[in-house]
Structure 1
Amino acid sequence: MALMECHFFSEALGMSTSMNVILPQQTRSQIGLEGKSSTDKHPVLFLLHGLSDDHTIWLRRTSIERYVASLGLAVVMPNVNRSYYQDMAYGLAYWTFISEELPALARSFFPLAEEREKTFAAGLSMGGYGAMRLGLSHPEQFGAAASLSGALDAVRVARERLSPAESSAIFGPLDEVAGSSRDLLHLLQGVEASEGPKPKLYQCCGTEDFLYQDNQRFREAAQGTGLDYTYEEHPGIHNWDYWDFTIQQVLKWLPLERKE
């Protein structure tokens, strides 16, 4: 695998920002690891961080580089600070950045596939919300989306999980979140009713996680649709032991072409 830290300017944010990128590399003599690649453009996973982290965290807390080596899968890990993947009411346009600008820029920098069937999103906690929002808002671009211990209830996050000042800066008026494009339950209904492509969805959460009940609400709504939806739960709390385990389950679940 090749690992790069990429610093670049974002027009959407109006400033420079960073992402870490893992690219497949075909290797045979590397001790302890056999990398796989192809001459085609690489399928890509946009892997999103949580509220208190940044673009470096997946590499620092898991073995994500080792886990994807045999899959021929590129991984793009961007930085969105504490934005909750929103175009903030009083702040920067992180949703525009993550949903529109970043995929286009990443593909201009690296040989990444453009087909939706080879484009995926996943994330933990706040990033689980971001990944699900990408899949549900842009099913024409993302073939699959996965949430690990996701903070999936934006209404509850805005009202209870953040301080009033931060919530106001990110979401603006609280009574405008429910039923909007920021509300995943609303997006689920829209995708189900649409005649366009529909993403595969994966959700997992630890049974002792403080977000467990929020995840159950999303689970009930998702299971009431006709979407290709997978739910798993395991003993666990909101920590990296759980996410290091479950990101491996996500990689097994992704609809990749797996060549022996």
Structure 2
Amino acid sequence: MELFRTIEISEPQFENSCLRYITVKSRHLKGRGDICVFVPPFLETVKDCPLIILLHGVYGSSWSWTLNGGVHITALEMMQQKKIPPAVIAMPSDGLWGDGSGYIPHDGLDFEKWIAEDVPAAVQKCIPSVRTSSRLFIGGLSMGGFGALKIGTRYAGQFSAVAAHSSLTHLAQMELFVEEEVNGLLQKEAKDNSVFLTIMKHKHQLPFIRFDCGLLDTLLDENRLLHHQLLEAGIPHEYEEREGGHEWPYWQKHIRDSLLFFSKYF
């Protein structure tokens, strides 16, 4: 049985800026999901090309990392300068539920499995250089940072490393950003709402972890707390604080740090 009932992919003759667009019908979304994919132009000799999945924050969609963050421009520049090896970057929508799905299962939909299972499978089916043996990485900002840290940890056997910028560290923090009732998003198990508790549950098999936060960020205290909790628990990780707030100029600049971090494990 095919994983996707339908797959639509953009025509190469109309693509530009090394961006490809994929829409699949997902059983986990019970509908269609969109993925924007950065495919660098020099993959002919690359086998098992690494795949990086980048998750957007609230209010956004599959275009956010490119048209708000310019990540495809940054990544291509870094590859051309030999700062990082070639990699494909997949930027899916979160499922487009409310102001943000949280990348968790709720309301009969599984936004977590959409990311962890469907997105890699769709890219592997549509991009020949990405195979089931390719190394996988996951990162994100804000709500997407929360999703990346949780999914990357829960699926540690699948993802080699995880990186997050300005991340929510607990699902309850969604109330700072969304109009939907957050209690409807909270999971039954407390550990499923918390990045730290999720990491502790899977502490015997973890990906490499990196996260950062701006000194003017709304979530700075929460990120500092997560850092100290991980230190006290003896969980290896990288954490940095930089100038900036919860805003695109910060993420545009520091996505470079995540790409460099990932490239150490290609």
Q: Shorter-normalised TM-score: what interval?
A: 0.7 to 0.9
Aligned to 2:65: 58
Give 2:116's aligned amino acid: S
CA contact (8 A) 1:10 1:16 kept: yes
Aligned residue among 87, 90, 97 for 2:105: 87
Q: Distance in 2 between matches of 1:108 and 1:102?
A: 10
CA contact (8 A) 1:236 1:242 kept: yes
Q: Are 1:22 and 2:33 matched, yes or no?
A: no
Aligned to 1:29: none
Q: Distance in 1 between matches of 2:214 and 2:178?
A: 25
Q: Are 1:112 and 2:124 matched, yes or no?
A: no
1:193-250 C-alpha deviation (Å, 9 max, x unpaired): x2xx421101100011011111111111222344431111111111011001110111
Aligned to 2:195: 184
Q: Distance in 2 between matches of 1:5 and 1:67?
A: 19
CA contact (8 A) 1:199 1:228 kept: no
Helix, strand or coil at the partner of 2:147:
helix
Aligned to 1:167: 182
**TM superposition shift of 1:165:** 4.5
Q: Distance in 2 between matches of 1:74 and 1:250?
A: 14
Q: Are 1:73 and 2:106 matched, yes or no?
A: no
Aligned to 2:4: none
Helix, strand or coil at the partner of 1:254:
helix
Q: Are 1:208 and 2:226 matched, yes or no?
A: no
Aligned to 2:250: 242
**TM superposition shift of 1:164:** 7.8
Give 1:50's aligned amino acid: G
1:121-179 C-alpha deviation (Å, 9 max, x unpaired): 0000000001101211011000100010001222x326x4366853133236xxx3523
CA contact (8 A) 2:149 2:195 kept: yes
Q: Are 1:124 and 2:141 matched, yes or no?
A: yes
**TM superposition shift of 1:23:** 1.2
With over 3 angstroms needed to count, the CA separation of the structure-2 counterparts of 1:115 and 1:238, relative to structure 1, is same
* Structure 2: gaps spanning 5 or more residues: 1-16, 80-84
Q: Distance in 1 between matches of 2:178 and 2:75?
A: 37
Give 1:85's aligned amino acid: Y
Aligned to 2:29: 13
Aligned to 2:52: 45
* Percent of matched pairs sharing the same residue: 24
CA contact (8 A) 1:12 1:96 kept: yes
TM-score, length-scaled by structure 2: 0.82
Q: What RMSD over aligned residues (CA atoms) do the two structures have, in Å?
A: 2.2
Q: Are 1:150 and 2:167 matched, yes or no?
A: yes
Q: Distance in 1 between matches of 2:160 and 2:118?
A: 18
CA contact (8 A) 1:151 1:211 kept: yes
Aligned residue among 136, 141, 162 for 2:153: 136
* Structure 1: gaps spanning 5 or more residues: 27-35
